[in-house]
Amino acid sequence: MLDYETLRVLWWLLLGLVLIGFAVMDGFDLGVAILLPWVARDDTERRIVINSIGPVWDGNQVWLILGGGAAFAAWPPLYATAFSGFYVALFLVLAALILRPVGFDFRNKVDDVRWRRVWDTALFTAGFVPTLVFGVAFGNLLQGVPFHFDDELRVTYTGDFLLHLLNPFALLTGLLSLAMLIMHGAVYLIIKTEGAIEARARRALAFGAPLTAVLFSVCGLWIAFGIDGYVVVEGAARDAASNPLAKAVVREPGAWLANYRGQPWMLIAPALGYVGAAGAYLLVRAGRPGLAFVGSAASVFGIVSTAGLSMFPFLMPSSTDPRSSLTVWDSSSSQLTLFIMLIASVVVLPIVASYTVFVYRVLRGKITSHDIAERGPSLY
Amino acid sequence: MADLDPVTLSRIQFALTAMYHFLFVPLTLGLSFLLAIMESIWVMTGRAIWRDMTKFWGKLFGINFAMGVATGITMEFQFGTNWAYFSHFVGDIFGAPLALEGLTAFFLESTFVGLFFFGWDRLSRLGHLTVTWLVAFGSNLSAVWILIANAWMQNPVGSAFNPDSMRMELTSLAEAIFNPVAQAKFVHTVSAGYVTGAVFVLAISSWYLLRGRDLAFAKRSFAVASAFGMASALSVVVLGDESGYLATEHQKMKIAAMEGMWETEPAPAGFSIVGWPDEEAQETRFAVKVPFMLGLIATRSIDEELPGIKELVAHAETRIRSGLVAYDAVQRLRQDPGDAAAREAFTRHRDDFGYALLLRKVVADPLRADDAAIAEAAWLTVPGVWPLFWSFRVMVALGFYFILLFGVALYFSTVRRFDRRWFQRLALYSLPLPWVAAELGWFVAEYGRQPWTIEGVLPTFLSGSNIAAGYVWFSLAGFAVFYTALLVIDVFLMVKYARKGPGRLAEPPAGEERRAGAQALVTPE
């Protein structure tokens, strides 16, 4: 069996991988749903947009489910603290996510303008709300969240459940999340559609890609000069039993940049955020939308990794009782669980990736108004 | 009502959302296999009617599947939002099957379901059939993992409490996976799903037969459903019996409560067909008993005694006293993790640690509990007898009814008598019954586990999140409104598409096969 410290780092990477998997894979269909009201003007166009993601969004969303499952299995205190602390916000996300499957499946089942408008709104909401809230959640993690543990490790969240979370910095990260997925979704639509929808998606990209870069920069400056990071000053051994209370933590200005000073190679992550966004924009102009998708995916990868790397080893810092903060070294599952789950992930994820590629290959090609007319009733 | 505590409200919310989710899961389990069977016949025989059957039942499957996916995420979120201490306490073991479910089952099911609906023109016949089987396999595999997780809550094997991290930790995943309770539960639950799918197809086909429409389609569907249903109904009852036998081994209190058996009876005990459990007087009135039957079912022997509720309460008292030694040791270890004597004492009594936690409901500090407090805590281990007694009996009666129903259906379809209107009406009116049975079964299993979230390890009242009741009211009310609206829409669409029927699935003709299919639909046998 691998040693406990290594397993904890690997599981930090794996949780990051799964969350980025969610942001990249479900990200583009959330982005497409956000773009739905702007890129499609009539029922046929809306159906083209919806069917461009119709067969694949469900598989993509499993990355989110797996993210929850991975947090539960590998980082139980993180799962318990984040989910109970963000109670109201998560139920809003949940309500939005519940609208997705039914929105896709039910919309075309009744031929009525009002009925379809209801589900169009539902699909837009189901893209917009989770994208915003997950961005806001990252903004709050970076600032620290008000919670503490008692000595039985029962967690209590002491902030209010919604208004506190919607602070200016968190709203900024929420906007970044929206811009990022608008960019990513726009590239996907450029690949999957033609004509007027594609032209509008190009305009959305010309708006989303630069906006992503600008908001990412503002977030970076704010973190550098406006937000105190967290530092573990005295911790238990990195292979000790998980108990967040066995350490001391202080807040320091600029601490979230310390990792980049110590390990300059980590700057690849923010660089990728910019290069990917620029690449997405330029490659679409150069007539290479497939490669542009790799670019926007790389940008998403870079931006999410930047947040994770800045905080390492913190997963969820506590603003009111810093020693209760959850770190990679004190909030994991047991060594045995991490090891078994690592093996399972290493075996299964490549299989998942390969059949996912197969499905996308089968479904390749643009969705057109001809498809809607020809295969209408069997589509969404 | 307004002064309910957050844990009670969270229980109501969990029960509401789980039972709601479980309206859709069994049908997904059953219909996915029926679709795979129908499509296999299409691929083997090349008769287009079987493909049209797959597509038509696939439409109804799609409506139901969307609801199942929509309501499933709620379940995963709720462990964290409402049961934070539970999540911390058992995430090390309980989280693993949930993550494995996502990894191995949800990806498979959800990635291929898109191809099932939209891949008809893009895949070869064999290719599409493979996709359909993978969807069926994926949905059933997810049931494997979630029932392994659930079985661990009923019979927590392969794990031990670690006083340093204040939680249960995994000692053997193999033990948790091969938990005998999990295996019996899995087959029992998926069989119940197959029965649900079969009754669904049988009832709607019967309705077409009654209306004299879509006859070729309805007869074939009726025949497939009755054969598949017969096998499933037998399996559900046999494995239900296995579940009961295993509960006798691991959850004696659940069995005693289901039977309303207050006193230990001489072996082999009798089975009460009906009765009126009186929890005040601690006796079951007006019981009509079949001699020996309970002893035979529950112990599969004639000389093994089944303990009654009162004896089990006395036993719980012993375990509380033993658990107090472990509880005391944990307090000492928290002060000084190097205290070897405390660690040794803890190791000897750790299996009863959860029983000491029960005292927290009765006294502030369990170590100061007196005899009266211990006796009171021991009585907490008795779940509500009346609801269990009756839910169990109705579920079992329905199980036998399904065997009868499918037996007759199988007979009629074998002798090709599709003109028995009384039976078709009976089949149609039986439509809601599998859902009633499934929900009652869920209730017996989970309500019968009370007062524990993890049997013998963690009491329910300690499992919740530290959140104000107001927030749970907010989410609970939201679910009630939102879910009711969705259910109305779901039923509306199901009825609309069932009424529309297979003959009027408005699809443009696509070559020869399509015409042959349409021909088969209008030509009587």
Residue A212 belongs to domain with CATH number: 1.20.1630.10
The answer to whether A1 contacts chain B (CB < 8 Å) is no
- SS3 assignment, position B228: helix
**Residues B138-157 pLDDT 10s:** 999 999 999 999 999 999 99
Say if the Cβ atoms of B80 and A79 lie within 8 Å.
yes
Q: Write the residue in B71, B123, B170 that is nearest to A334 by C-beta.
A: B170
Distance (Å, whole) CA A1 – CA A336:
8
List the structure tokens of A346.
């290493």
Quickly list DSSP for A89-158: HHHHHHHHHHHHHHHHHHHTTS--HHHHHHHHHHHHHHHHHHHHHHHHHHHHHHH-B-EEE-TT--EEE-
pTM of the model: 0.91
**Among B residues 486-505, those touching chain A with beta carbons less than 8 Å apart:** 486, 489-490, 493, 496-497, 505
- Among B38, B57, B51, which residue's Cα sits nearest to residue B513? B51
Terminal CA-CA length for chain A: 48
- SS3 assignment, position B449: coil
The answer to whether A241 contacts chain B (CB < 8 Å) is yes
Beta strands in chain A (DSSP E): 147-149, 155-157, 228-234, 248-253, 314-316, 326-327
List the structure tokens of A367.
């969705």
Provide the total of helices (H) and of strands (E) in chain A, helices listed first: 14, 6
Do strands A326-327 and A314-316 pair parallel, antiparallel, or not at all (unpaired)?
antiparallel
Check whether the bond before B26 is cis (ω within 30° of 0): no
Q: Which helix (H) or strand (E) holds B277?
A: strand B271-278
List the structure tokens of B449.
């586990």
The answer to whether A97 contacts chain B (CB < 8 Å) is yes
The answer to whether A353 contacts chain B (CB < 8 Å) is no
B123 contacts on A by Cβ (under 8 Å): 362
Radius of gyration of chain A (CA): 21
Q: What is the ipTM of this complex?
A: 0.91
The answer to whether B158 contacts chain A (CB < 8 Å) is no
Q: How far is B465 from chain A (nearest CA, A)?
A: 6
- For residue B2, the model assigns a pLDDT of 61
Say if the Cβ atoms of B117 and A242 lie within 8 Å.
no
Q: How far is A72 from chain B (nearest CA, A)?
A: 5
The answer to whether A248 contacts chain B (CB < 8 Å) is no
- SS3 assignment, position B165: coil
Radius of gyration of chain B (CA): 26
The answer to whether A311 contacts chain B (CB < 8 Å) is no
The CA–CA distances, whole Å, from A2 to A339, A349, B230 equal: 7, 20, 50
Distance (Å, whole) CA B217 – CA B503:
9
Say if the Cβ atoms of B76 and A82 lie within 8 Å.
no
Say if the Cβ atoms of A73 and B96 lie within 8 Å.
yes
Distance (Å, whole) CA A109 – CA B266:
61
List the structure tokens of B11.
């229980």
3-state secondary structure B422-444: HHHHHHHHCCCHHHHHHHHHHHH
Q: If you measure CA to CA, which chain B residue comes closest to A357?
A: B111
CB B505 within 8 A of CB B52: yes
The answer to whether B469 contacts chain A (CB < 8 Å) is no
Q: Write phi, then psi, for B47 (nearest 5 degrees).
A: -85, 120
A149 contacts on B by Cβ (under 8 Å): none
Distance (Å, whole) CA B257 – CA B240:
17
Distance (Å, whole) CA B341 – CA B333:
9
Q: Write the residue in A98, A340, A352 that is nearest to B71 by C-beta.
A: A98
- For residue B260, the model assigns a pLDDT of 82
Quickly list DSSP for B315-349: HHHHHHHHHHHHHHHHHHHHH-TT-HHHHHHHHHH
Q: How far is B270 from chain A (nearest CA, A)?
A: 44
**Residues B385-396 pLDDT 10s:** 889 988 998 998
**Among A residues 66-85, those touching chain B with beta carbons less than 8 Å apart:** 66, 68-70, 72-74, 76-77, 79-84
Under-70 pLDDT residues of chain B: 1-2, 247-248, 504-525
**Among A residues 105-144, those touching chain B with beta carbons less than 8 Å apart:** 105-106, 109-110
List the structure tokens of A368.
């057109």
Do strands B283-290 and A248-253 pair parallel, antiparallel, or not at all (unpaired)?
unpaired
- Among B519, B512, B145, B24, which residue's Cα sits nearest to residue A72? B145
Terminal CA-CA length for chain B: 61
The answer to whether B173 contacts chain A (CB < 8 Å) is yes
Other Cβ atoms less than 10 A from the Cβ of B65: the count is 26
Query: Buried (b) or exposed (e) across A188-212, using 16+ Cβ within 10 A?
Result: bbbbbbeeebbebbbebbeebbebb
List the structure tokens of A174.
């929420």
Query: Buried (b) or exposed (e) across A288-311, using 16+ Cβ within 10 A?
Result: ebeebbebbbbbbbbbbbbbbbbb
- β-sheet bridge partners, residue A149: A155
The answer to whether A320 contacts chain B (CB < 8 Å) is no
Distance (Å, whole) CA A152 – CA B437:
40
Q: How far is A40 from chain B (nearest CA, A)?
A: 22
Q: If you measure CA to CA, which chain B residue comes closest to A77?
A: B88
List the structure tokens of A206.
């010309």
Query: Buried (b) or exposed (e) across B358-393, using 16+ Cβ within 10 A?
Result: bbbbbbeebeebeeebbbbbbbbbbbebebbbbbbb
- Among B306, B310, B314, which residue's Cα sits nearest to residue B262? B310
Q: How far is B98 from chain A (nearest CA, A)?
A: 6
A343 contacts on B by Cβ (under 8 Å): none
Do strands A326-327 and B167-170 pair parallel, antiparallel, or not at all (unpaired)?
unpaired
Say if the Cβ atoms of A336 and B171 lie within 8 Å.
yes
DSSP secondary structure letter of residue A313: T
A70 contacts on B by Cβ (under 8 Å): 99, 102
Other Cβ atoms less than 10 A from the Cβ of A158: the count is 15
Say if the Cβ atoms of B474 and A88 lie within 8 Å.
yes
The answer to whether A346 contacts chain B (CB < 8 Å) is no
Q: How far is A245 from chain B (nearest CA, A)?
A: 10
CB B85 within 8 A of CB B457: no
- SS3 assignment, position A160: coil
The answer to whether B481 contacts chain A (CB < 8 Å) is no
Say if the Cβ atoms of A359 and B74 lie within 8 Å.
no
Q: If you measure CA to CA, which chain A residue comes closest to B479?
A: A95
B496 contacts on A by Cβ (under 8 Å): 109-110
Q: Which helix (H) or strand (E) holds B459?
A: strand B458-459
Say if the Cβ atoms of A90 and B482 lie within 8 Å.
no
Distance (Å, whole) CA B472 – CA B466:
11
- For residue A374, the model assigns a pLDDT of 84
A66 contacts on B by Cβ (under 8 Å): 99, 102-103, 106-107
Distance (Å, whole) CA B153 – CA B453:
6
List the structure tokens of B81.
């939002």
A84 contacts on B by Cβ (under 8 Å): 80-82, 84, 465-467
Q: How far is A75 from chain B (nearest CA, A)?
A: 8
Q: Write the residue in A54, A80, A105 that is nearest to B87 by C-beta.
A: A80
Q: If you measure CA to CA, which chain A residue comes closest to B90?
A: A76
Distance (Å, whole) CA A178 – CA B335:
48
Say if the Cβ atoms of A334 and B92 lie within 8 Å.
yes
Instruction: Please list the pLDDT of chain A residue by residue as tens digits (380 residues).
Output: 889 999 999 999 999 999 999 999 999 999 999 999 999 999 999 999 999 999 999 999 999 999 999 999 999 999 999 999 999 999 999 999 999 999 999 998 888 899 999 999 999 999 999 999 999 999 999 999 999 999 889 999 988 777 888 999 999 999 999 999 999 999 999 999 999 999 999 999 999 999 999 999 999 999 999 899 999 998 778 888 888 988 899 999 989 999 999 999 999 999 999 999 999 999 999 999 999 999 999 999 999 999 999 999 999 999 999 999 999 999 999 999 999 999 999 999 999 999 999 999 999 989 888 888 888 777 88
List the structure tokens of B401.
């009814």
- For residue A81, the model assigns a pLDDT of 94
Distance (Å, whole) CA B88 – CA B84:
6
The domain tally of chain A equals 1
CB A327 within 8 A of CB A144: no
Q: How far is B282 from chain A (nearest CA, A)?
A: 37
Say if the Cβ atoms of B122 and A362 lie within 8 Å.
yes
Q: How far is A132 from chain B (nearest CA, A)?
A: 18
Parent domain of A308: 4-378
Other Cβ atoms less than 10 A from the Cβ of B285: the count is 10
- β-sheet bridge partners, residue B206: none
Place of tokens 């870079």: A302
CB A256 within 8 A of CB A292: no
Say if the Cβ atoms of A58 and B101 lie within 8 Å.
no
- For residue B180, the model assigns a pLDDT of 86
Say if the Cβ atoms of B62 and A99 lie within 8 Å.
no
The answer to whether A17 contacts chain B (CB < 8 Å) is no
Q: Write the residue in B94, B490, B506 that is nearest to A377 by C-beta.
A: B506
